[in-house]
Structure 1
Amino acid sequence: MTRDIPASVRGQLENLARKSGRPLQELMQYFVMERFLFRLSQSEYVDRFVLKGALMFTVWGSPQSRATRDIDLLARAENSVDAMSGMIKEVCRQPVESDGVEFLSDSVHGAIIKENAEYPGVRVTFLAMIQNARLPMQIDIGFGDVIYPTATVIDFPTMLDFETPRLKG
């Protein structure tokens, strides 16, 4: 008999929500961000991106005052909407052992952000699914920023018993 992994994941997240007192929607959002980072860590693009922003507080074990709904990355790649959207589509399609999450690569949409800045960035949005729950994803990609302290390889903490994302942060 095959196991319904998306249903199992959702059930585990519901249990975690009850135990922690955190909203299920927030936990599902963090879970899909974690699983996107895992796919990125398994992709050919892993060395082109550095995790930064609020999700680094998770790595450092610091409590967050508010839930974050996006992933902030620094790219060492072509600063264009098409290039970033293409890479994110490929990461969404990255084959991995089933973790109950489906990223809808056909929903990927990119746009320029910080248009008047010295280094404009790219925002990529798309949808993730856990069972019938549709979860919006947003990745803000910067270019040319200085990272301090220097980026090192990190293990991003996992919420459930799945392989750990390993990437620069």
Structure 2
Amino acid sequence: MRVGSVLLVAGVVAVAGGGVASAGVVRDVERGYALACGGEAGGVSVVVDLYQNSAFGAHASVSVTTADGDEYGGGFGPEEYTLFDGGAVAAEVPVRGLEEDGEPAGAAVVSGSYATAGAAEPVREVIEDPAGTHVVTIGTTTPLTADVSVDVLGTTVPLACDTAFAFDLRVWRITTGNG
């Protein structure tokens, strides 16, 4: 942890205790999962992003390109939707053509499994967002393995997930009144 991070975290505690009247502190507990996967089969290329956060709901996006160059996409979020549950991954994402008047093209059905693939790793991060709010994040991420595929446009595409982790974070958003 950098010294600046320690000082800012100490400042969070002071602000939370009422030390600065013009400041506001919002604390969230964020637990969830993230997968970013892609694959190709039968001339169909797919990218899938799945994100589930206890504080912000579930988000899913799918991008599809066929061998003919036709493009499809879809997504949702934030929604109350369980993407990750007890080792199972499941999502049904409506997709449509990406041309100007894109017609619905059915659903991309993502399914598979995930498992822990290592020890929890500490996360300590301090950033300032463009609005002038300091965001302090402390917690852990845990790497996952994922065996996932997507059925879309009549093709089953196995996916490789470059990003796959679970997270358990405490997040403070500190508004100093100077933003």
Query: What interval of TM-score do these two structures reach, taking the shorter chain for normalisation?
Result: 0.3 to 0.5
Higher share of residues assigned strand: 2
Q: TM-score, normalised by structure 1?
A: 0.32
Q: TM-score, normalised by structure 2?
A: 0.31
